[in-house]
Amino acid sequence: MTALVIENLSHGFGVRKALSDVSLAVEPGAFMVLLGPNGAGKTTLVSLVTGLYNAQQGDIRIFGHSMRSDPLPALAGLGVVFQMPTLDLDLTVTENLAYHAALHGLSRREAAKRSTLELERLGIAERSHDKVRSLSGGLRRRVEIARALLHNPRLLIVDEATAGLDVAGRHLLLKHVRSMCGEGLSVLWATHMLDEVESADRLAVLHQGSVRWMGAAGEIASSGTLEAAFLRLTGEAA
């Protein structure tokens, strides 16, 4: 079953149209990049998929469950890392994860087991009892990735999670999340950074609220560079 299906999605704020007739799909085990400049509508789309807003038009289905008519099972299989950090700075790493686990109905034993596993996979288990306030921006993002994966979701949505991180930090997060796709996780990775796209990725280019191109990332640059194709699609080429 397709992990995420978005069909004819439109949404606006007052007279401003944020998304216009957007359709895309994320297949099981796929790493799909939603690439667009700032203001393209990426965060609005993420907000609709995660239930922060109700779509004014169109449908969103997560593993067959419609966000409009069947939102609870749809959201149960979803992990999210939002653009703005949402960790409690005055709690420890473990306390942040325990709170999230409780919201998803995990027992204390299962929460502890899953927390240890995810923190070890991200190389930050030794900081589990530190307050989040003491962590660097890159380490905080790793904690947010661990938290999003804690309840073992089948679909992960990531919105500009690497903004503000150095090259090494961005590479580590991308490498980890891509490796999870090999274990069956499906990913929608929203970014404005072209260097986060690999040729094997699925790619959707979003600009001014509409999808301008979609397909295998390697195909968009078949007759040039990804940068040149992106600038042409977004009307920013010289």
Stated as kind and residue range, the H or E segment containing 191 is strand 186-191
Q: Give this prediction's pTM.
A: 0.93
145 and 162 in a single domain? The answer is: no
Q: Does residue 206 belong to any structural domain of this protein?
A: yes
- Band the pLDDT of 238: cuts 50, 70, 90: very low
- Band the pLDDT of 221: cuts 50, 70, 90: confident
pLDDT score recorded for residue 186? 97
Give tens-digit pLDDT for 33-68: 999 999 999 999 999 999 999 999 999 999 999 999
17 and 45 in a single domain? The answer is: yes
Q: For residue 76, what are the CA distances in angstroms to 56, 63, 72, 148, 150?
A: 22, 11, 6, 12, 12
20 and 59 in a single domain? The answer is: yes
Give tens-digit pLDDT for 174-208: 999 999 998 999 999 999 999 999 999 999 999 99
Q: Does residue 176 belong to any structural domain of this protein?
A: no
33 and 47 in a single domain? The answer is: yes
164 and 94 in a single domain? The answer is: no
CB atoms within 10 A of CB 202: 20
45 and 15 in a single domain? The answer is: yes
Q: Please state, in angstroms and rounded to a whole number, the distance separating the CA atoms of residues 172 and 10.
A: 34
Residue 34 backbone zone (phi > 0: left; psi -120 to 50: alpha; other: beta): beta
pLDDT score recorded for residue 135? 95
Lowest model confidence (mean pLDDT) among 34-48, 100-114, 116-130, 217-231: 217-231
- Provide the mean pLDDT of the chain: 93
pLDDT: which is higher, 63 or 236: 63
Beta strands 210-216; 16-26: pairing state: unpaired
pLDDT score recorded for residue 236? 62
Backbone angles phi, psi at 38, to 5 degrees: -55, 135
Nearest to 156 by CA among 214, 95, 75: 75
* Helix-helix angle 93-103:108-121, to 10 degrees: 130
How many domains, the chain?
Answer: 2
Q: Does residue 178 belong to any structural domain of this protein?
A: no
User: What is the domain range of residue 94?
Assistant: 85-152
165 and 113 in a single domain? The answer is: no
144 and 66 in a single domain? The answer is: no
Q: Please state, in angstroms and rounded to a whole number, the distance separating the CA atoms of residues 3 and 26.
A: 6
pLDDT score recorded for residue 62? 97
Q: DSSP states of 35-100 as a string?
A: E--TTSSHHHHHHHHTTSS--SEEEEEETTEETTT-HHHHHHTEEEE-SS----TTSBHHHHHHHH
Report the CATH number at residue 66. 3.40.50.300
Q: Which two tokens stand for residue 125?
A: 């288990």
Give tens-digit pLDDT for 152-178: 999 999 999 888 788 888 888 899 999
